[in-house]
Structure 1
Amino acid sequence: MNVVCFSLAALLALTLGACNSNQPAEVAGSSSAAPTGRPLAAPATPAAGKKRLLFFGNSLTAGYGVEPEQAFPALVSAKIDSLGLGYEVVNAGLSGETTAGGRSRVGWVLRQPVAVFVLELGANDGLRGLPLGDTRRNLQAIIDTVRRRSPGAQIVLAGMQIPPNLGTAYAADFKALYQEIAAQNDLVLIPFLLEGVGGIRQLNQPDGIHPTAAGHRIVARTVWTVLQPLLVGQAAVNP
């Protein structure tokens, strides 16, 4: 299994202020990997003969509170390797990331081309009650950047849901936002990334937000259900 994780220190340099530690409920916190202090560097070149699958998200993708190999991107990478599908998985998750922060750093992340881009952002926007129009514009800008930088990339959008703390209408509109963006942009949609995990106490850490290792295994299965036919199909077309 070969999962490339970007330096947290480098990513924080690009997104300082994306995480507001005063927010009581937020998909945030420190990454499970300690900052390295290394200077900002370009993403590594993919291994020879391998295509790049990039997970772009917040602390759910980064694997906050669990070991890197227990986070769902690493588990998906193991499945890919077991089938010999020829993808290098890159975990570009950043704890505390909002869609605005993602919009600001996506160009740097895409300095190397990708074949598949999994977009997992928006939970922090929703938990903060940020205007959904802003979230929509930021997600669209990220999608547009991916298509400009890697025109042949397949984009997968991870849908999210939030509790109705800020009102049932806001929560319903937030959920529908992902379905609408996926339809408008012809994206592959994971209907709800935390299906079978969100709100289940024994599958989440004490904060009630971040999955445990067991929770990540369920998330990995949810993601793999969507990714497997896509990756196998690409391998058949481009052996």
Structure 2
Amino acid sequence: MSRRVRKVIPSWAWLSLLANGVLVIAVFSLLRPDQLRKGSSIAPAAPSPMAWVPVTQVGSTQLSAIAAPPTPDIGPRHQLTYQDWLDILQREAAAMAAQKPTNLAILAGDSLSLWFPPDLLPTDYTWLNQGISGETSAGLRDRLTLFQEVQPQVIFVMIGINDLIRGVPSATVLRNQERIIRDLRRQHPQAEVVIQSILPHSGEQATWDGREQLLALSNEDIRQLNRALATICAEAGARYLDLHPLFVDANGNLRADLTTDGLHLNGNGYLVWRSALYTFRQLALATAQP
């Protein structure tokens, strides 16, 4: 008779889940309603100066009175081939490895990470953006060596939506995610690996060019994948940052006031993400203290 072995989830994993719950409450309480009001317009102008009151203790983050941030614009980079991207990211990673900055953080993923406005990234890190537009989980899995020489303090990963839009099975995405976690932990044992949830889309309100493919993907399927992803993170030794509740409306779709086309984020969407990164870092520091 075979004997079933019960998996024991480590205590830090439970703390991570608790931190995610507190994160949702904290971010909603910190963002001013007038900054995220539905239908707020965001002009695609040049970035305006942004003021931020740095976090000094858990729950003390505040947005100062600022104008709505502009819609992200990556300029001519969107015309690059995939190989062009690989070459550029490898050179940028090599330059960062030579500089050896302290408090280095990496953004790894697809266009959502790529388009993160530099002036909205938390200022307590030096950032290396390793996002590629249209990237898949398999593509990211295979190019982790591009930045293996850098010494980051934390690596934030968001990947998978392009797989799902193209019809890649959720099981395949999850296997790739698990491989990404294990490879990152092996290549960067000193770093904290943070896997971020896949964001929803806007459903019938979407105007993205691939709208028909997008509508074929259920937001419920995304939620189910995210639940499985949280389990994989707990088992593989990564932190799970659940951004999904911060971006959904009452129908479970991506909020119209946080997106440009039903898939990508506008300036206010990145403002929410930025606040989540700040809050998550403070909660992580707090749970790490003896």
TM-score scaled by length of structure 2: 0.57
**Which one of the candidate residues 123, 141, 147 is aligned to 2:179?**
141
Q: How far apart, CA to CA, are the structure 2 residues paired with 1:46 and 1:232?
A: 31
**Which one of the candidate residues 214, 221, 225 is aligned to 1:174?**
225
Q: C-alpha offsets along residues 100-144 of structure 1, whole Å, 9 cap, x if unaligned?
A: 110111111222222211111111122223112211111111111
Identify if the C-alpha distance between structure 1 residues 111 and 204 changes in structure 2 by more than 3 Å, giving closer, same or farther: same
Q: Flag structure 2 segments of 5+ consecutive residues without an equivalent.
A: 1-72, 202-214
Q: Report the counterpart of residue 76 of structure 2 in structure 1.
A: 34
Q: How far apart, CA to CA, are the structure 2 residues paired with 1:53 and 1:107?
A: 16
Q: Report the counterpart of residue 63 of structure 1 in structure 2.
A: 115
Amino acid at match of 1:77: P
Q: How far apart, CA to CA, are the structure 2 residues paired with 1:193 and 1:53?
A: 21
Q: C-alpha offsets along residues 163-220 of structure 1, whole Å, 9 cap, x if unaligned?
A: 6844576344322222111221232211125723662223211x21111112211111
Identify if the C-alpha distance between structure 1 residues 231 and 47 changes in structure 2 by more than 3 Å, giving closer, same or farther: farther
- Larger RCO (CA within 8 A; separation ≥ 6): 2
SS in 2 for 1:45: helix
C-alpha RMSD of matched pairs (Å): 3.1
SS in 1 for 2:140: helix
TM-score scaled by length of structure 1: 0.68
Structure number with greater Rg is 2
The answer (yes or no) to whether the contact 1:43–1:109 under 8 Å persists in 2 is no
Q: Report the counterpart of residue 75 of structure 1 in structure 2.
A: 120
Amino acid at match of 2:126: E
Q: Report the counterpart of residue 215 of structure 1 in structure 2.
A: 269
Identify if the C-alpha distance between structure 1 residues 215 and 161 changes in structure 2 by more than 3 Å, giving closer, same or farther: closer
SS in 1 for 2:105: strand
Q: Report the counterpart of residue 50 of structure 1 in structure 2.
A: 102
Identify if the C-alpha distance between structure 1 residues 219 and 57 changes in structure 2 by more than 3 Å, giving closer, same or farther: same
- Answering whether residue 258 of structure 2 is matched by residue 203 of structure 1, we say yes
Q: Structure 1 runs of 4+ off > 6 angstroms? A: 36-39
Q: How far apart, CA to CA, are the structure 1 residues paired with 2:221 and 2:258?
A: 26
Q: Flag structure 1 segments of 5+ consecutive residues without an equivalent.
A: 1-30, 81-86
